[in-house]
C-alpha cells in the first residue's frame, strides 16, 4: 500500500486532532522509511522486508515510535495512535503485497499489486474513508474548502499513477 497509508494517517487525524499530521504520516509509513534507510545503508536480509515489515520488526518500530512520541509530548493516547498506525502499515501491506512474518516463517499477502484495478479500488476506498474522517478535524467551512478537497484528488491521482506504473512496467525493484 502506498497512498493508502496516508489515508489511514488522515483518518487518525480526524479521530485525534491533537496529534500533528506529520507525526501520523511518519508513523503510517515508518516501516517503508526503515526499509529505505536499511537499503541505503546496505543492510539487507536474505528475506526482503524481514528487518522492516516482519512481526518482530513491526513490534520494535511500534515501541520506538510510540515511546518517542510519548517522551516528546507526554500524550499517552497520542502515543497509542502512533503505535497503532505503525501496526496498521503491516496489515495494509499484507493486502497489497507479500511480506515476511518472522525468521523462517511464511511470506503472507494477497499481492493486490498484481491486480491494479482491485488495488486502486481498495486504496481509493481507504483514502476516501481517511479523508472523510480528516475533514471532521476542521470547522465545517474549512473542511469543504478547495485545499482540503485537493488533498483527496492528489492522493487518488498518485495512487492511480502508482497502479498504472505497476501494471505497465515490469521488473521494478525497491532496492
For residue range 11-41, list pLDDT tens digits in order.
999 999 999 999 999 999 999 999 999 999 9
Q: How far apart are CA 32 and CA 133, in angstroms?
A: 24
Helix, strand, or coil (residue 91): helix
Q: How far apart are CA 10 and CA 135, in angstroms?
A: 9
Residue 107: strand pairing partners? 100
Are 151 and 130 spatial neighbours (Cβ–Cβ below 8 Å)?
no
User: Taking the model in full, what pTM does it have?
Assistant: 0.91
Given this model, what pLDDT does residue 175 score?
Answer: 67
Establish how many alpha carbons lie within 13 A of residue 65's alpha carbon, considering only the half-sphere containing its beta carbon. 27
Q: How far apart are CA 39 and CA 44, in angstroms?
A: 6
pLDDT tens-digit series, residues 112-136? 888 999 999 999 999 999 999 999 9
Amino acid at each position: 500500500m502506498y497512498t493508502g497509508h496516508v489515508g489511514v494517517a488522515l483518518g487518525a487525524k480526524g479521530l485525534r486532532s491533537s496529534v500533528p499530521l506529520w507525526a501520523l504520516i511518519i508513523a503510517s509509513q515508518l516501516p517503508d522509511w526503515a526499509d529505505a534507510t536499511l537499503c541505503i545503508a546496505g543492510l539487507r536480509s536474505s528475506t526482503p522486508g524481514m528487518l522492516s515489515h516482519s512481526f518482530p520488526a513491526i513490534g520494535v518500530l511500534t515501541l520506538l515510535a510510540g515511546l518517542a512520541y510519548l517522551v516528546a509530548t507526554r500524550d499517552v493516547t497520542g502515543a497509542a495512535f502512533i503505535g497503532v498506525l505503525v501496526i496498521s502499515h503491516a496489515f495494509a501491506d499484507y493486502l497489497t503485497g507479500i511480506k515476511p512474518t518472522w525468521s523462517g516463517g511464511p511470506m503472507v499477502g494477497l499481492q493486490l499489486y498484481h491486480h491494479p484495478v482491485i488495488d486502486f479500488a481498495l486504496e481509493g476506498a481507504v483514502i476516501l474513508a481517511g479523508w472523510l474522517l480528516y475533514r471532521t478535524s476542521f470547522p465545517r467551512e474549512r473542511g469543504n474548502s478547495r485545499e482540503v478537497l485537493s488533498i483527496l484528488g492528489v492522493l487518488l491521482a498518485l495512487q492511480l499513477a502508482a497502479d498504472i506504473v505497476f501494471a505497465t512496467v515490469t521488473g521494478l525493484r525497491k532496492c
